[in-house]
Amino acid sequence: MAEASNKTYNYRKKGQTAPTADALGRLSPRDTDVEAAVLGALMIEKDAYTVVCDILKPESFYEPAHQKVYEAIQTLGASQQPIDLLTVTEQLKRNGTLDEVGGAAFVVQLTSNVTSAAHVEFHSRIVAQKYLARELISFSAQIEKNAFDESIDVDDLLQEAEGKLFEISQRNVKKDVTQIDPVITSALDQIQAAANRTSGLSGLQTGFHELDKVTSGWQNSDLIIIAARPAMGKTAFVLSMAKNMAVNYNIPIAVFSLEMSNLQLVNRLISNVCELPGEKIKSGQLTSLEWDQLMARIKHLNGAPLYIDDTASLSVFELRTKARRLVREHDIKMIIIDYLQLMNASGMKFGSREQEVSMISRSLKQLAKELNIPIIALSQLSRQVENRSDNKRPQLSDLRESGAIEQDADIVCFIHRPEYYYHSDTDPSGKDIRGLAEFIIAKHRSGSVKDVNMRFRAQFARFENWLEEGGEAIMASTTSSLNMPSQGGDPFSASPLSGGSVDIISAHGEETPF
């Protein structure tokens, strides 16, 4: 495209606006000459529209006349009709806007100032950037106005601001396509890295060996949904897993707990690690031996890279901000959210709760891709499970409030404990189900689906591996270091993680030592 004309437009012509200035005399960002050059290039080069159609929309143009001309071009492009001076003029007539833009003479003037479409993409990006700047100015001006209004709650205003800013960024962020060669190189590097690991896994180890075999570890950019009915042990499972990963493998983990306070969560974690009943942890009624056990085993949590945020009613926009900071400052490798239905999308309007949950699940998947880490979100199941008389095993259709959860997730898992429903040590077939927890992988976008048996120890809110030896089920801890201290000494004294503290990120985003 030739350089845009230096001609100064007469803004008092029909269909054009005079420059507007703010209270400080500053003009809104725009470049009307570049806008005119883009429109002229689109009418002299038949393939130019395919280059800019993903970059520009009518409102990207500052001049109303330019907006209407581009609307005509967009209509022609959508119907795969030729785009030139004559067809655009005819389309403006059909739209009833030819006179509004200044007649056929105005359209002719647009093409007469351009001789080539060589730089149409570069110029269109200038137009798009100016539009984005205007949107941000308008957004900030509205926020400033509302901030002066004392009748508006500041927290509500903050949520609205986050929602609007997120909406603007989502509308304007585009990613270019990538040729396959560098992607193949990255894939080979990942395979080689997995081969070099002693575990043979390509993702993050959970400490649950059978689960890791099926998934090859939790994979970066995956959204993993773990769903169950209340009292099945969703929180207990992710706490057991977070303990395995943060303590045993030193993997930095962030837990966003919308349901429980950080103190409640850590108390359950202490019960899990120290193998002391939760009610004794809460009451403090411990025997001398139990106190020794508590003090010996709690050392294992010291220095663990585990971060907890207990903000109630967390919005998806707050999550994005905090998650980015956690990854940047603490190199977080995985995020756990307990649980999805308690989140909200404040600042945005929805016709139903289902639409809001759909938006939240979509945002979580986008966040997982952006940060390139796995995100695990717990989810409630509907009461359909309880209403079935014969089969209480959960299914994908039981996911509560939105089918979008199933669509957006890379992996959907269920936790099912037959013992809870049969109220017996055995099922109808006579199988021993004491402590049995079935971890059901119902959807796996890049792998197989399978049921993984685990051992659930309710008194300690703890999940463990379930090993089969000689046809007889036995319990096996994920790490031998969590066994009872022997008389020969304290097994935790040599822990490489001793010293330091479990870091807790409070509802205000501050870190306080446990």
Among 61-75, 226-240, 393-407, the minimum mean pLDDT is found in 393-407
Average pLDDT over residues 470-492: 38
Q: Which residue has the tokens 């197989």?
A: 448
Percent of the chain residues past pLDDT 90, beyond the cut: 6
Confidence check: pLDDT of 350 > 80: no
Reported as a pLDDT band with limits 50, 70 and 90, residue 511 is very low
How do residues 3-56 score in pLDDT, each as one tens digit? Answer: 444 443 444 444 455 555 555 667 788 888 898 999 998 988 878 888 888 788
Which residue would you say has higher pLDDT here, 192 or 208?
208
Average pLDDT over residues 76-81: 82
CA–CA dist 360, 345 (Å, integer): 7
Please state, rounded to an integer, the average pLDDT across all residues of the chain: 76
Confidence check: pLDDT of 135 > 80: yes
> Which range is most confident: 62-66, 154-158, 408-412, 495-499?
62-66
Q: Tell me the CATH number of domain 203-495, given options 3.30.420.40, 3.40.50.300, 3.90.1150.10, 3.30.70.20.
A: 3.40.50.300
Confidence check: pLDDT of 145 > 50: yes
Asked if 341 and 380 touch (Cβ cutoff 8 Å), the reply is yes
pLDDT of residue 349: 64
Query: What 3 state SS string does 340-379 have?
Result: HHHCECCCCCCCCHHHHHHHHHHHHHHHHHHHCCCEEEEE
Phi, psi dihedral angles at 432 (to 5 degrees): -70, 120
End-to-end CA distance of the chain: 63
How do residues 355-390 score in pLDDT, each as one tens digit? Answer: 777 888 888 888 888 888 999 989 887 777 776 777
Angle at 345 between CA 231 and CA 238, to 5 degrees: 30
pLDDT of residue 347: 58
Maximum pairwise Cα distance, the chain: 97
CA–CA dist 437, 433 (Å, integer): 8
How do residues 319-349 score in pLDDT, each as one tens digit? Answer: 887 888 888 888 889 999 987 778 777 656 6
Average pLDDT over residues 110-118: 82
Both tokens of residue 182?
């560098």
**What fold, for 32-152?**
DNAb Helicase; Chain A (1.10.860)
How do residues 266-322 score in pLDDT, each as one tens digit? Answer: 888 888 777 777 777 777 777 888 788 778 778 777 788 888 888 777 778 778 878
- Does 259 qualify as catalytic in the annotation? yes
Average pLDDT over residues 395-411: 76
How do residues 432-442 score in pLDDT, each as one tens digit? Answer: 777 788 888 88
Residues of the chain with CATH 1.10.860.10: 32-152
How do residues 223-271 score in pLDDT, each as one tens digit? Answer: 998 888 887 888 888 888 888 888 888 889 998 988 888 788 888 888 8
pLDDT of residue 334: 92
Q: Which of 90, 100, 259, 290 is catalytic?
A: 259
pLDDT of residue 481: 38
Residues of the chain with CATH 3.40.50.300: 203-495
Angle at 163 between CA 162 and CA 166, to 5 degrees: 85
Average pLDDT over residues 175-200: 71
